[in-house]
Structure 1
Amino acid sequence: MLDEGQYASITEMADAERLDRGYIGRLLQLTLLAPDIVEAVLDGRQPAEVALASLLKPFAAGWEQQGAL
């Protein structure tokens, strides 16, 4: 939506989707997850502690550091 130019900002997207701006921001952080973590989640192979609630908390930006956690 942002990448397609449909919305100019997170605030605009949050308003249009009737969601909290902070929540949208946390969801957008998920785009920074390492590909192997995304693949594991999509395949259902992630450890039990890797749930949406834990992924919405701040995490390392580097993919190698993410894997170490």
Structure 2
Amino acid sequence: MSDAVQTLTIVIPLQVKPRGGRKAMVRPGVLALERRQDVTLIKAVARAFRWRRMLESGRFATINELAAAEKINASYVSRVLRLTLLAPDIVEAILDGRQAPGLDLPRLLAGFPLAWEKQRASLSPA
């Protein structure tokens, strides 16, 4: 039996990129996807599902109560809550940064079809 030390070298290609005022290591190819992530849209989708959960749990009885607690306009809360009606694959694409070019929060707040198939036809990448 040999007492020689064996060394194993693993090479992982990484790049150092600035992220929000600090540096982070990312794998090549990941950066291209992250550039398309619309943080404003992602936050709005997350907020919509959080608000829906608050309403469904009974924490707030009405959209007006929720809006007052969040100190924002009830009309805005209603428009953002509609994001919970998006097809699951569209929500996933938004979270992954794979949404169609030009699909942003103002576009979604302006309205979209309720039927998922129609959403896919009008909101998904070609």
Where structure 2 has 5 or more consecutive residues not aligned to the other structure, the ranges are 1-53
Matches within 5 A, 1:1-69: 1-69=54-122
Q: Identity percentage over the alignment?
A: 52
Moved over 2 A (4+): none
The Cα shift of 1:48 comes to 2.1
TM-score (norm 2): 0.53
TM-score (norm 1): 0.95
The Cα shift of 1:47 comes to 1.6
Bigger strand fraction: 2
The Cα shift of 1:2 comes to 0.3
CA RMSD, Structure 1 to Structure 2 (Å): 0.7
Number of residues paired by the alignment?
Answer: 69
In the aligned structure 1, how far is the partner of 2:103 from the partner of 2:111?
Answer: 13
In the aligned structure 1, how far is the partner of 2:68 from the partner of 2:112?
Answer: 26
Give secondary structure in 2 for the equivalent of 1:3: helix
